[in-house]
Structure 1
Amino acid sequence: MSFKDLKLNRPLLRAIAESGYNNPTLVQEKTIPLVLDKKDIIVSAQTGTGKTAAFALPILQLLFDRQDAPKKGKTIKALIVSPTRELAIQIEANFKTYSSYTNLRTTVVYGGTSIEPQKEILTKGIDILIATPGRLLDLHKQDIVNLDYVETLVLDEADLMLDMGFIDDVKKIERLCTKEKQILLFSATIPYKVEQLANSILNAPERVEVAQNSSTSKQVVQLLYYVPKRNKIELCLHLLRNTIKGNILIFRRTKFGVDKLEKTLLKNGYKVDSIHGDKSQTGRQDALNKFRKGEINILIATDVAARGIDINDLDVVVNFDLPNVPETYVHRIGRTARAGKKGIAYSFCSADEKSYVQTIQQLIQLQLDIIEDHPYPLDPKAKPIVHKSKKTGSKHRKGRKSEASKKKKKRWY
């Protein structure tokens, strides 16, 4: 099937051809006709399957006939809500590419940067708005954004949006749009929470599933190292010196962990940078650009910061901390071995993460290859270290003095 068969118009086909795409991916093939038919849809597809174009192209097609607004200016007719800034920026770049031969105007708004330039663009009038939930509601409160004319609402990476605690914001945004709108919900996985949200706001949705939620690429070699928690940094350095080569993305669970590992690797002379939620937008973007240009070859990230980032030619993913949600593991290793290339995923498992390995293996229906030949093996009998607080609470209820302290007091009478 070619893009022509999807009944897209000439200006869009021209922009697609110039981007170097000839044939639609499976998710595009299944989704575009449904969007053009104005159906509500739930799409379950991993990152890297081309899902942004699956909603961007039909939205641009639907708005094409009304691209030249009357004097009162343009109104927001399509709203795309995205959980992270990086993802929102990437979606905007896609829309701009595909709409280059139209007069449709797109902009992106997100927190962490000055609100004034965003207000300025919005007051001039746009057709398509891409936004993170917090900044969108801020702008709406200030009467800068009017959602009364939204015809298509896209919720991208819905599972991540709910994991990040945006459920109330999403419902509020949905209520602020018109009742008659079309809703497109995209999610890498469809856990119960996403299912519940879909049932509450979508109208008789069609479902599109592309590959199993659990599918991990056959091109990825998945290796598992059992290692005591205290030795993970040494193991990481050992592998970087002797085994791991190329462009490397390392995942850690916390921002603190990211910073700690980054300092250690810099001290050891590695070209490394990091992205996490506490970094400014420009800091995150700079780190990404350095990685893409080859100025650094190691990027350390938390899951939230790395979701939706498109990095080509990634050779290795390292799960320094194993994720407690098995689907997250699938996302992480899905960043390597894209477009038919091969990749390697290294996972470090300490005693307290053993249960995560089980749930990951159940999900992907695959046994990870255990590498025992390394300098920091974990004692198979090792029990998870449970850190107990040394502080013990008072025996007495707050505000009550003990008998002893009452006796010590010298009375004034």
Structure 2
Amino acid sequence: MAFKKLHPHILESFERLSIDSPTSFEKSCIPVIKSGANVFCIGAKDSGKTTTLIITTLQKLKCEAVGNAPRAVVIVENKEKVLELYNAFLNYTKYSTLRVYASYEQLHIDVQKSEIYMGIDILITTPKTLHKLFLSNGVSISELKICSIDDAEFLSVKSETTSLITTAASIKKCQFVIYAEKMHPQLKRLENHFMEHSKIIQK
């Protein structure tokens, strides 16, 4: 197995999913993300961005449920992306205790609040939904360890970026990882907000 120093549950998932070795992108990004740095991970389509996101999230949470508040948040563009990533996570969390929750604007906010209150580990959501949950005390961000943004090109829309920056300003001691195909100026500007001292990996 070419993946090194990963949680045994992740290695077992690779075996079950017939994943033998990391892509060049995964090989470059995973060690840097594991170090705890804020990272911009820039790679072409199908380079392994989603797998990297899932692996590093599970590694950070040690593949086990703890407490009730989410310790990882994954931000994507819309409901379709939320459900797509939710199903991708389930492939890896199937035999673990980790609780993954799909959150999006079309789902009533009160339903989300009550379901999140029951306890989750990984919250997959959109910037506006996360902001709405945060403002209505529907989610605690006090235990957050890692916040990842997948296919971050959608942040070129000002309202999405504003929602994200506003929420991120209240998050303390959290690692941020952004995945995109290109390093757009809009992404670069996030260094002035929550991506301070970040590293850029381009493959």
Report the CA distance between 1:164 and its aligned residue: 6.2
Give the distance between the partners of 1:68 and 1:188, measured in 2 at CA: 32
SS at 1:89 equivalent: helix
- Indicate the RMSD between aligned Cα atoms, in angstroms: 1.9
Correspondence list, 1:26-105, <5 A: 26-64=24-62, 67-69=64-66, 73-105=67-99
The aligned counterpart of 1:206 is 199
Contact kept in structure 1, 2:60 and 2:146, CA below 8 Å: no
Give the distance between the partners of 2:144 and 2:73, measured in 1 at CA: 7
Contact kept in structure 2, 1:137 and 1:173, CA below 8 Å: yes
The aligned counterpart of 1:186 is 179
Contact kept in structure 1, 2:134 and 2:167, CA below 8 Å: no
Give the distance between the partners of 1:53 and 1:10, measured in 2 at CA: 16
SS at 1:43 equivalent: strand
The aligned counterpart of 1:2 is 2
> Which whole-Å deviations, capped at 9, do the CAs of 1:359-393 have from their partners, x for residues lacking one?
xxxxxxxxxxxxxxxxxxxxxxxxxxxxxxxxxxx
The aligned counterpart of 2:169 is 175
Counterpart AA for 2:60: L
Report the CA distance between 1:169 and its aligned residue: 0.6
> Which whole-Å deviations, capped at 9, do the CAs of 1:273-321 have from their partners, x for residues lacking one?
xxxxxxxxxxxxxxxxxxxxxxxxxxxxxxxxxxxxxxxxxxxxxxxxx
Identity across matched positions, percent: 21
> Which whole-Å deviations, capped at 9, do the CAs of 1:327-379 have from their partners, x for residues lacking one?
xxxxxxxxxxxxxxxxxxxxxxxxxxxxxxxxxxxxxxxxxxxxxxxxxxxxx
Contact kept in structure 2, 1:82 and 1:88, CA below 8 Å: yes
The aligned counterpart of 2:133 is 139
Contact kept in structure 2, 1:64 and 1:104, CA below 8 Å: no
Give the distance between the partners of 2:185 and 2:108, measured in 1 at CA: 36
Q: Which runs of 5+ in 2 are unaligned?
A: none
Matching residue within 174, 179, 190 for 1:197: 190
Matching residue within 146, 167, 173 for 1:152: 146
Whose Rg is larger? 1
Report the CA distance between 1:129 and its aligned residue: 0.6
Give the distance between the partners of 2:190 and 2:46, measured in 1 at CA: 24
Report the CA distance between 1:202 and its aligned residue: 1.3
> Which whole-Å deviations, capped at 9, do the CAs of 1:166-220 have from their partners, x for residues lacking one?
1111101211211x2111011221121211113432132121112xxxxxxxxxx
The aligned counterpart of 1:14 is 12
Correspondence list, 1:314-353, <5 A: none
Compared CA separation, residues 121 and 46, structure 1 to 2 (3 A): farther
Contact kept in structure 2, 1:64 and 1:102, CA below 8 Å: no
Compared CA separation, residues 208 and 120, structure 1 to 2 (3 A): same
Contact kept in structure 2, 1:149 and 1:177, CA below 8 Å: no
Give the distance between the partners of 1:192 and 1:68, measured in 2 at CA: 37
Compared CA separation, residues 165 and 155, structure 1 to 2 (3 A): same
Report the CA distance between 1:77 and its aligned residue: 0.9
Counterpart AA for 1:34: V
Give TM-score scaled by structure 1 length.
0.46
Counterpart AA for 1:108: A
Counterpart AA for 1:207: I
Q: Which runs of 4+ in 1 moved over 6 A?
A: none
Give the distance between the partners of 1:134 and 1:2, measured in 2 at CA: 38
Compared CA separation, residues 78 and 68, structure 1 to 2 (3 A): closer
Give the number of equivalent residue pairs: 203
Correspondence list, 1:341-380, <5 A: none
Give the distance between the partners of 2:168 and 2:150, measured in 1 at CA: 13
Correspondence list, 1:199-238, <5 A: 199-210=192-203
Give TM-score scaled by structure 2 length.
0.91
Counterpart AA for 2:130: L
SS at 1:165 equivalent: helix
> Which whole-Å deviations, capped at 9, do the CAs of 1:57-100 have from their partners, x for residues lacking one?
122112117x343xxx3221111111122212122222221122
Comparing 76-85 and 156-165, the one that deviates more: 156-165
Greater RCO (Cα-Cα under 8 Å, separation 6 or more): 2
> Which whole-Å deviations, capped at 9, do the CAs of 1:80-123 have from their partners, x for residues lacking one?
11112221212222222112232111111001233344233201
